[in-house]
C-alpha cells in the first residue's frame, strides 16, 4: 500500500503521543524520587537550614542505579520502578520501531518523491509529447482536410472526364454508325444508280432500235413517196391536156382526197403552241384532246376487265417513263403462277413485259397488248419530237399526214 501524507501525519501524531506518554511516568518517578522521605534516625547529614543534600538523599541508597529495578537497601524489586522500567523499555522499542518505520517511510517518501519527480518529468514530457502529437494531429487534420478537398476536386474532375469520355464514345459510336449508314447508303445508291443506268441503257437501246425501225420506215415511206411524186410529175402534162379538153372533162373520175380544214387548223395550232406548253398540260390543246378521246384512250382500253386504266398508261407514255421489252422464258415461267396478262386479264402466252415507271415492278403482257402500247408510244414519240423541233424542215401537210398514219396505226392495233 502506498503511504500518503495523511498516513505520515498520523504516524507523527502517534509518535508524539508515545513520547508524551513516556515523559509522564519519568516525570512522576523523578517527582517521587525528589520527594522528602522520613529522616533516618541514624542519619545526621542535614544542612543547617534543615534541607537534605542530594548526595545524602535516601533515594540514592534505594535506587543507586536507574537501570536496576531492585531496591539498593533490601534488594527487592520495586514494582513501580519495574513497571516504569518495563514501560520505558516498551516505549523505547516502540520509539526505535517508530524511528525505523519513520526512516523507512522517509526513504520511501524520498524514493516516492524522486519517483514522483521522475513521473512529473515524464508527465511533463508526455504533456509536451501530447502537445506535439496534438499539433501533429491538428496539422494532419488540416492536411487531411486539404487532401479531402483535393480528393473531392479530383473526383469531380474524374467524373467530368468520365462524362466527357462517355460523350466522346457516344459521339464516336454515333459517327461510326452514321458513317456505316452513309457507306451502306452510298453502296445502295451506287447499286440503284448502276441498276438505273442499266435500265436506262436498255431503254435507250430499245429507243435506238425503235428509232432505227422508224428511220427505216421513214426511209421506205420517203422512197415510196418519191416514187409516187415522180409518177405524178410524169403524169402531170397529160392531166393538164386532159383537163383543157372539153370533151374529156366529164369522162375522168375525180381522185383528190378531201382534208378536214378544222382538224388541219387545230394541228397547226398544236405545232405552233406545243413548244410553249408543258408536257403534263399537252392534252389541254384541242388537237391532243381530240386524239386522246378518239384514238389514244380507245387504243389503251383493254376490254371489259382491264388490269390498269387508260389514264395511268397515258400519263406514263406521255412522260416517257414507260418501258416495254421482250420477256425471257424463265421470267414468264416464274410469273405465270401469278395470273394472265396484266393489261387485258386474258390468259395466253406472255411474250413481253412493261412498267410505267422505273420504281414499279414489271408487268407481263401478251403480244396484242404490246402492239397497242407500242402504237401509243410511237404516237407520243412523234408528239415529243414535234415539241422538240426535230421536224422543223418538214411541211405541215407532211406532219399532219404522219399524225394520221400513227392514229390509223393505233386504230389497227386495237
Tens digits of residue pLDDT in 183-223? 988 898 888 888 888 888 888 888 788 778 778 777 776 77
Q: What's the pLDDT score for residue 157?
A: 92
Q: What's the pLDDT score for residue 161?
A: 92
> What mean pLDDT comes out for the span 361-389?
87
Look at 1-15, 57-71, 126-140, 161-175 and tell me which has the smallest mean pLDDT. Answer: 57-71
Look at 67-71, 102-106, 132-136 and tell me which has the smallest mean pLDDT. Answer: 67-71
Beta strands at 352-355 and 323-326: parallel, antiparallel or unpaired: antiparallel
Whether 6 shows a pLDDT value over 80: the answer reads: no
Question: Which alpha helices (H) appear in 245-279, and where do they start and end?
Answer: 261-273
Q: Cα–Cα distance between 345 and 239 in angstroms, integer?
A: 55
Q: Cα–Cα distance between 265 and 327 in angstroms, integer?
A: 43
Q: What's the pLDDT score for residue 244?
A: 37
Question: Average per-residue pLDDT in the chain?
Answer: 77
Look at 32-41, 54-63, 109-118, 222-231 and tell me which has the smallest mean pLDDT. Answer: 32-41
Q: What's the pLDDT score for residue 2?
A: 58
Place of cell 415492278: 361
pTM over 0.75: no
Contact 377/402 with Cβ under 8 angstroms? Answer: no
Q: What's the pLDDT score for residue 389?
A: 84
Whether 24 shows a pLDDT value over 90: the answer reads: no
Look at 73-82, 172-181, 398-407 and tell me which has the smallest mean pLDDT. Answer: 73-82
Sign of CA dihedral 293, 380, 267, 399: negative
Residue 249 three-state SS:
coil
> What mean pLDDT comes out for the span 320-341?
77
Residue 52 DSSP code: P
- Count helices and strands (H / E) in the chain: 10, 3
Q: How confident is the model at residue 414 (pLDDT cuts 50, 70, 90)?
A: confident
Whether 52 shows a pLDDT value over 80: the answer reads: no
- Whole-number percent of the chain with pLDDT over 70: 75
Q: What's the pLDDT score for residue 130?
A: 85
Whether 394 shows a pLDDT value over 90: the answer reads: no
Q: How confident is the model at residue 115 (pLDDT cuts 50, 70, 90)?
A: confident
Q: What's the pLDDT score for residue 105?
A: 81
Q: Cα–Cα distance between 186 and 181 in angstroms, integer?
A: 8
Whether 260 shows a pLDDT value over 70: the answer reads: yes
What string of H, E and C letters represents the secondary structure of 324-390? Answer: EEECCHHHHHHHHHHCCCCCCCCCCCCCEEEECCCCCCCEEECHHHHHHHHHHHHHHHHHHHHHHCC
Q: How confident is the model at residue 253 (pLDDT cuts 50, 70, 90)?
A: very low
Q: What's the pLDDT score for residue 242?
A: 37
Rounded (5°) CA angle 195-196-199: 90
Q: What's the pLDDT score for residue 156?
A: 92
Q: What's the pLDDT score for residue 152?
A: 92
Amino acid at each position: 500500500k502506498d503511504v500518503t501524507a495523511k498516513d505520515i501525519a498520523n504516524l507523527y501524531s502517534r509518535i508524539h503521543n508515545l513520547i508524551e506518554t513516556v515523559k509522564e511516568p519519568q516525570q512522576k518517578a523523578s517527582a517521587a524520587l525528589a520527594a522528602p522521605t522520613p529522616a533516618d534516625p541514624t542519619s545526621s547529614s542535614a544542612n543547617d537550614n534543615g534541607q537534605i543534600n542530594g548526595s545524602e538523599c535516601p533515594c540514592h541508597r534505594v535506587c543507586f542505579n536507574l537501570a536496576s529495578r531492585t531496591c539498593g537497601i533490601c534488594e527487592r524489586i520495586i514494582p513501580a520502578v519495574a513497571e516504569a522500567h518495563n514501560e520505558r523499555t516498551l516505549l523505547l522499542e516502540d520509539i526505535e520501531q517508530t524511528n525505523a518505520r519513520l526512516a523507512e517511510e522517509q526513504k520511501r517518501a524520498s524514493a516516492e518523491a524522486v519517483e514522483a519527480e521522475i513521473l512529473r518529468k515524464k508527465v511533463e514530457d508526455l504533456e509536451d509529447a501530447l502537445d506535439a502529437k496534438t499539433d501533429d494531429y491538428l496539422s494532419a487534420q488540416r492536411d487531411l482536410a486539404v487532401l479531402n478537398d483535393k480528393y473531392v476536386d479530383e473526383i469531380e474532375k474524374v467524373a467530368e472526364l468520365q462524362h466527357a469520355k462517355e460523350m466522346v464514345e457516344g459521339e464516336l459510336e454515333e459517327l461510326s454508325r452514321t458513317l456505316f449508314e452513309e457507306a451502306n447508303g452510298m453502296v445502295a445508291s451506287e447499286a440503284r444508280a448502276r441498276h438505273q443506268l442499266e435500265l436506262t441503257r436498255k431503254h435507250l437501246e430499245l429507243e435506238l432500235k425503235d428509232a432505227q425501225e422508224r428511220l427505216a420506215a421513214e426511209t421506205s415511206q420517203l422512197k415510196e413517196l418519191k416514187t409516187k411524186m415522180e409518177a405524178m410529175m410524169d403524169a402531170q402534162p397529160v392531166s393538164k391536156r386532159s383537163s383543157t379538153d372539153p370533151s374529156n372533162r366529164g369522162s375522168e373520175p375525180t381522185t383528190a382526197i378531201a382534208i378536214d380544214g378544222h382538224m388541219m387548223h387545230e394541228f397547226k395550232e398544236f405545232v405552233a403552241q406545243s413548244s410553249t406548253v408543258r408536257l403534263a398540260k399537252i392534252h389541254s390543246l384541242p388537237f391532243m384532246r381530240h386524239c386522246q378521246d378518239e384514238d389514244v384512250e380507245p387504243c389503251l382500253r383493254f376490254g371489259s376487265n382491264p388490269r390498269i386504266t387508260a389514264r395511268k398508261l397515258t400519263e406514263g407514255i406521255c412522260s416517257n417513263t414507260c418501258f416495254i421489252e421482250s420477256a425471257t422464258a424463265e421470267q414468264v415461267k416464274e410469273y405465270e403462277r401469278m395470273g394472265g396478262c396484266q393489261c387485258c386479264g386474258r390468259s395466253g402466252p406472255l411474250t413481253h413485259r412493261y412498267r410505267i415507271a422505273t420504281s414499279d415492278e414489271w408487268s407481263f403482257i401478251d403480244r396484242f397488248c404490246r402492239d397497242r402500247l407500242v402504237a401509243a408510244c410511237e404516237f407520243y414519240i412523234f408528239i415529243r419530237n414535234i415539241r422538240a423541233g426535230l421536224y422543223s424542215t418538214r411541211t405541215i401537210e407532211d406532219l399532219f399526214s404522219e399524225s394520221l398514219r400513227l392514229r390509223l396505226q393505233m386504230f389497227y392495233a386495237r
